[in-house]
Structure 1
């Protein structure tokens, strides 16, 4: 494993930043402000990290221009508008990438499959009939591509992934370990006390630059396809049911479940452990905070919450008691009581006004 070493000037050029300090300083990696040494570069993402930066031993810092005057103990900087974005760009520079290409001897590939040049097919990979694997894509060990699956260019499919149900994905897609895409949707017709399985005839279509974490399940459509548009990013342990449609650049955090035939717009954020009921519509630019439960459609952009925040245990028990007591009071009785209180307030106001 070769370690990449760059001059500070080279890194500044890569992030289109302004170099201040020693251009030939050698940088061998990224590190946090606390753990960085003289061979590392770190970043300062705002005023609240100034104290950590002052004590950091990093050989260079990525900062915004307004922070430079406060970092008097450092000499080497890359000045950018967005330090966090520059840091993200440099993670790709120092990332250890698989460089080997070719097909391992234990892989089983159907003769009808089309495998582009410059790909890597790992040990014990199984690729079925009429599959397509695009240029430069990497498929790690023990992954299975069922018949008719298509993978675009420069994709990364991690170990133990199953792609089935005629799944088709675009370019620069990353699928992480143990995820299943194109599996049978949860469709059953109830009749005479029994559940009758509905064969799932749709597929899964995934756009470009999509990322799916590990241990996720994305079901194929019942009739229409399940769709993930360009730029969608999905954390680990997410369930997406059949016929769900997720718009561009939407982000979904871990342990979220989305029921069937729901449409989610563009640029949405679903925080951890959200639940979305089926056959709903969520418009563009909606944020759901952690553990939110969506039971009706959302037609206006904004931030929505339904999870209950943390209480001290005793306070939580008292709150639950009060909620139960409130639930036992008929709404009509509450309404009458409020009307009576309102009448008393108006009477007092009238009396006070006559005395002035």
Structure 2
């Protein structure tokens, strides 16, 4: 529990029509909030819910506060304010230290005294685990890997040899960091020859990596994820990719080898990035887009077609198949018109 006054301080907001001493027991969406709960409005489609919500107070923008009769926590950026307020109600993981009896830790590793290594973990020789690290059940830490201070590996995370994690990194279950990149050479007999992947993966500070996301080690140089990057679930990042600081990638993004993503970029779900491309800072790519050439100017980019009723899509598809024919006919007409002097 906390008070509205404390919430306002944490959220960088101010109160309107509220008693700062009012106690709040939790957070809830507008349509489900009960008295004693804090709610929020971050999208205009939910404005109608302001009239019927039973929340004790609502986090919203100054513009929305003007039409809200409910006590308000007013913030310039309600989404950020909500994130900060909700953190006050997030469960705190139990603080533990030591090594579980079922874990295997190499005597040649270097483990800080105030870390926790959970059940069935493996820590290989030369690994360094710094202060305050929490390693959940079933994790594997490879040889000479470094886990930065106050990082947390939730469960079943694999950190391969020589991978380096910065401080306060959060990795969710099933992620694999530092497996071999997809490096193959085709010999004269048509057989694939594996190219050794001699680089590693360098993860910056305060990076979050979602469940079952995979980040391949570099072929020669490192794959690099800079500070503050946020990766959703089931993302594939190939060898030698470089992602700039504070970029955010939604689920099922796939980035081919040696692509470079700038800082403060946002990639929607299912975006595909071809290899060896460069995307500048402050680029937003909408979901399911395919990027096949470098992007040299900041802005919002899209590709693909949105869903349509099947009968309409069938017509669109049929017309798309005729585009080349139509283009050829148009070019022939233009050529004839130019020859006849009618244009």
Q: Tell me, yes or no, whether TM beats 0.5.
A: yes
Asked if 1:284 corresponds to 2:246, the answer is: no
Q: Residue 16 and residue 290 in structure 1: after superposition, are their counterparts in 2 closer, same or farther (change >3 A)?
A: closer
Match of 1:45 among 42, 46, 61: 42
Give the Å deviation of 1:342.
7.2
Alignment correspondent of 2:172: 176
Match of 1:158 among 138, 148, 154: 154
Asked if 1:97 corresponds to 2:92, the answer is: yes
Secondary structure, counterpart of 1:323 in structure 2: helix
Give the Å deviation of 1:282.
1.5
- Distance in 2, matches of 1:343 and 1:89, equals 69
Alignment correspondent of 1:227: 224
Give the Å deviation of 1:54.
2.1
Residues 50 and 70 in structure 1, CA contact (< 8 A), matched pair in contact too: no
Match of 1:218 among 201, 212, 215: 215
**Superimposed CA distance per residue, residues 119-139 of structure 1 (whole angstroms, 9 cap, x where no aligned partner):** 222111111111122222211
Q: Residue 18 and residue 227 in structure 1: after superposition, are their counterparts in 2 closer, same or farther (change >3 A)?
A: same
**Superimposed CA distance per residue, residues 185-220 of structure 1 (whole angstroms, 9 cap, x where no aligned partner):** 111110021000111100000111111111111100
Secondary structure, counterpart of 2:193 in structure 1: strand
- Distance in 1, matches of 2:260 and 2:312, equals 38
Asked if 1:298 corresponds to 2:269, the answer is: no
Asked if 1:17 corresponds to 2:13, the answer is: yes
Give the Å deviation of 1:117.
3.4
The 5 A counterparts of 1:109-188 are 109-188=105-184
Residues 141 and 161 in structure 2, CA contact (< 8 A), matched pair in contact too: no
Residues 165 and 204 in structure 1, CA contact (< 8 A), matched pair in contact too: no
**Superimposed CA distance per residue, residues 23-54 of structure 1 (whole angstroms, 9 cap, x where no aligned partner):** 22221111111111112111223655332122
| TM-score with structure 2 setting the length | 0.92
Alignment correspondent of 1:335: 331
Runs of 5+ unmatched residues, structure 1: 348-356
**Superimposed CA distance per residue, residues 109-152 of structure 1 (whole angstroms, 9 cap, x where no aligned partner):** 11222222332221111111111222222111001001111111
> How many residue pairs align between the two structures?
340
Runs of 5+ unmatched residues, structure 2: none
Deviation larger for 180-189 or 123-132: 123-132
Give the Å deviation of 1:316.
1.7
Residues 252 and 269 in structure 1, CA contact (< 8 A), matched pair in contact too: yes
Alignment correspondent of 1:272: 269
